[in-house]
Amino acid sequence: MVHFADSLTFSGRKVLAAWASLPFPAFPGSSLPDTFSAHQQDVPWKLLSSWREQKVSCCFAQSVVLRGVCKERPSSSPGQRQPWLPLRSESPEQVLQQYLHTHFPGAFSTAHVLRQPCDTQPPFPQFFSPLLTRQGFLQDKAQALLRNEPNRDVQSIPVLAALQACPGLHQLLSGLCRDLRARNVRRCSSFFTAGVEQEDFQEALEELRALAQCYETGFGAGGSEDEADSD
């Protein structure tokens, strides 16, 4: 993981944000262009890292892996093809890559698509919506009622996972730095008896502050944290 993270971080950056879609919102028999066409405004995965912003409109680098959805047939609505969709039959990796390029232009992106879905048979916890099929695909409520399978287990699900170096990490890291500065660590005797020196602690804070600045951009960070640190 260290070497993998190094391949996505540069210009002094060391931290990545984790995203996931579990399950990936696809309908049975739908192609990747069909699925992505339904998510042109917002990407269909959610942030797992802990900062307040839940939407990222840009990133520096990312790696995205999709499992269990790789049908290569063309879109079911060729006459209404969206601008980002492939002009010819593409591989699943190319479709995902083109979708990432549309949402994150200029970012270094790697895309991988695997046929095998994520196995969710017992003892995997069955916390899934009743609107999912046994294979983890979406269905509308009417279809779910017709199936009438209240005790069925979801056996597998399509999954998308992503790691991103994105400007939102500036908020996370600078917020952590502010919280640490606000604490009076001198009152925590056990902290320094463990071998940490006050100078080392201050140096670590400065390194954290510098790391946060590596993620700051003119369009990705909402407000200057330097002003907050100087108060």
Residue located via tokens 């908020």: 171
What's the one-letter identity of residue 26?
Answer: A
Q: Do residue 189 and residue 152 come from a single domain?
A: no
| pLDDT at residue 231 tops 70 | no
Q: Do residue 144 and residue 183 come from a single domain?
A: no
Q: Do residue 121 and residue 208 come from a single domain?
A: no
Q: Do residue 194 and residue 112 come from a single domain?
A: no
Residue 113, strand partner residues: 66
Q: Do residue 67 and residue 155 come from a single domain?
A: yes
Q: Which residue segment(s) compose the domain that 190 sits in?
A: 169-214
Q: Do residue 124 and residue 184 come from a single domain?
A: no
Instruction: Say which range, 53-67, 73-87, 101-115, 150-164, has the weakest mean pLDDT.
Output: 73-87
Q: Do residue 208 and residue 111 come from a single domain?
A: no
Q: What's the pTM value of the predicted model, to 2 decimals?
A: 0.77
For residue 193, name the pLDDT band (cuts at 50, 70, 90): confident
Look at residue 195 and tell me if it is in a domain. yes
8 A C-beta contact, residue 70 and residue 24: no
Look at residue 8 and tell me if it is in a domain. yes
Look at residue 83 and tell me if it is in a domain. no
Look at residue 220 and tell me if it is in a domain. no
Look at residue 109 and tell me if it is in a domain. yes
Q: Do residue 161 and residue 173 come from a single domain?
A: no
Q: Do residue 108 and residue 179 come from a single domain?
A: no
Residue range 92-105: mean pLDDT, rounded: 91
Residue range 156-181: mean pLDDT, rounded: 91
In angstroms, rounded to a whole number, what is the distance separating the alpha carbons of residues 116 and 124? 17
| pLDDT at residue 102 tops 80 | yes
In angstroms, rounded to a whole number, what is the distance separating the alpha carbons of residues 205 and 119? 42
Give how many domains the chain has, as a whole number: 2
Look at residue 80 and tell me if it is in a domain. no
Look at residue 229 and tell me if it is in a domain. no
Residue range 12-34: mean pLDDT, rounded: 89
Residue range 200-219: mean pLDDT, rounded: 85
Dihedral sign of CA atoms 187, 190, 191, 195 in order: positive
